[in-house]
Homo-oligomer: A and B are copies of this chain.
Amino acid sequence: MAAMTMPRRRPGRPRREETRPTRELVLTVATRLFAERGFDAVGLRDVAAAAGVDVATVSHHTGTKAQLYDACFARVFAAEREVLEAAAERARAALPAGPPAARRALHDLVDVFVDFLEDRPETTALWLRRWLEPHRHAELDERYAAPLYRLVAELLTAAASAGALVEPTPHITVRSLVWAVHGHVVALAAAPSGARERREFRMFVHRFLDGLYGPAGS
């Protein structure tokens, strides 16, 4: 149909500032709207109005509404995945240097995660909304959640075998940690200032990562 080929040129009446193509602008405002209100509460005309273009232009650049939603989702999580994998690589490199270095590496990793989500709350919003769609559950788990969880779980296991902490159920631990972070971000959205809350949450997560419910066991 339309917009199937790459935009090699950019003709058309240049009524808009040309710093960046229209498609990027549409994706950006659509991501914000979808995160705020959800898929069904956002009309294509809302996206068009927020982007300053016509409805047909939105459809022209992004196809179906479902395709637009998927594009927003993929863009947001590609960014998250990139940041997290880079941080995980650094942590993995620091693990063999002994427990203190491993502990610092895990702290850095989780800080990167928290920072990222605090800076981009739409990531948390889209993530949670996807988890609430049963028919997308399997895809979301396989393509997004499982790899990231596995990544961090492997780090936790490696840190445990390096003596940095004791970790009986890495999968559940990681998932609980991730949801706690999402809850933190959602709470921050209600009280945007909360610098003290941010600081205290980081301390909480660090404590959580340390020996924590460590050597004692059940």
Contact = CB atoms under 8 A, between A and B. Distances in A.
Interface of A: 36, 38-41, 125, 128-129, 131-132, 134, 137-138, 141, 168-169, 172-173, 175-180, 182-184, 186-187, 189-190, 197, 200-201, 203-204, 206-208, 210-214, 216-218
B210 A169 contact: no
A36 B180 CA distance: 22
A189 B137 contact: yes
Nearest to A211: B216
Contact of A207 (B128, B190, B210, B217): B217
Number of copies: 2
A37 to B, nearest CB: 8
B204 A169 contact: yes
Contacts of A132: 38, 125, 128-129, 186
B134 A36 contact: yes
A112 to B, nearest CB: 18
